[in-house]
Amino acid sequence: MNNLRRLDLNLLVTLDVLLDELNVTRAAERLSFSQPAVSVHLAKLRELLGDPLLLPGPRGMRPTARALALREPLREALESLERAVAPASPFDPGSAHQTWRVAATDYGESTIVLPALRAMRAAAPHTRLAIVELVPPRIAKAAEQGEIDLAFHITSEAPEGLRQRVLFKERYVLTARAGHPRLKRRPGVKQFCELEHVIVSPDGGGFRGVTDEALAGAGLARRVVLSVPHFLFVISALAQTDLVAMLPWRLVRGNAALKAVEAPVEVPGYEMCMLWHERVHRDPAHQWLREQIVAAV
């Protein structure tokens, strides 16, 4: 390590060319240096390595035993270094064998991952995708430590220090099974509050959400009779009962088993964003993954 701290990388490049040419003049021409500059480099190398390295010979210079021993390791090291600092090669999805890890809720799976899945599988058939549970307090640390490549979360709760891109704005709609007897038309506020509601409580067991806060501002309250931790269970429950729910529009659009109408109370929506760490921001494979997500949503 002491030798490495003292070493100028240019000296190794000079040595590599000198061992190839065995001639100071020709080495200087290849390096675009002056002959005296190459001679200075050679003097420094001799002092550093404690060996003359190149000796005068009948047809130029001849390497010492130490120089011969250095020849192949030096060439391999320089080639490895060249590959390490070379510009990243373009990402080829057709031949890639990447494994990506994405953190998402069941809502994110349905509204972001699922729309992107078909095109991703077609373009990159040898890649793999793991969807892991979204734990909001751990997003930043998991991304920093490489445990996840992307996370999908609401912009208002996105942790600081991560790159982000807004994917879309979401709004809530009043949802029930198709043919629900009390949703033949948009209900009034009184009828809305009398319906039996399901609520999604990610933390578990809660019976109050943004809709209840909006109602409370007008001195009103609704009947919340069921609290569940996941959106997809709500969809099944609505299809088989007369319960209703305020659900994100993207989650229920196109579902023939459900009917969605505008609620009689204004409930603020939210933005969904994609989050990733700086360490992968310029990686061609990761850029491709992000582009696929954006194109899909």
CATH number at residue 258: 3.40.190.10
Q: What is the pLDDT of residue 5?
A: 63
Q: Are residues 108 and 249 in the same domain?
A: no
From the list 23, 18, 34, the residue with the least C-alpha distance to 59 is 23
- Within a domain: residue 90? no
pLDDT < 70 stretches in the chain? 1-6, 86-88
In a domain, 94, yes or no: no
Is there a single domain that holds both residue 153 and residue 284?
yes
148 & 284 share domain: yes
Give 63's strand partners: 54
Q: Is residue 51 part of a domain?
A: yes
Split into its structural domains, the chain has a count of: 3
Evaluate whether residue 281 is within a structural domain: yes
Looking at the structure, tell me whether residues 159 and 196 fall in a common domain.
Answer: no
**Quick one: pLDDT at residue 6?**
66
Residue 94 has a pLDDT of 96
Whether 151 and 277 share a structural domain = yes
CA distances 107 to 165, 199, 235, 246, Å, are 18, 14, 11, 14
Tell me: do 144 and 104 sit in the same domain.
yes
Give tens-digit pLDDT for 22-31.
889 899 999 8
Domain residues for the domain of 279 are 99-169+272-296
Count of helix runs (H) and strand runs (E) in the chain: 13, 12
pLDDT value, residue 228: 93
| Predicted local distance difference test score (pLDDT) of residue 58 | 75
Identify which of 9, 20, 6 has the alpha carbon closest to the alpha carbon of residue 67.
20
Are residues 240 and 109 part of one domain?
Answer: no
Do 283 and 151 belong to one domain? Answer: yes
Decide if 92 is inside a domain: no
**224 lies in the same domain as 250:** yes
Residue 9's domain is classified under what CATH number?
1.10.10.10
Say if residue 58 is in the same domain as residue 189: no
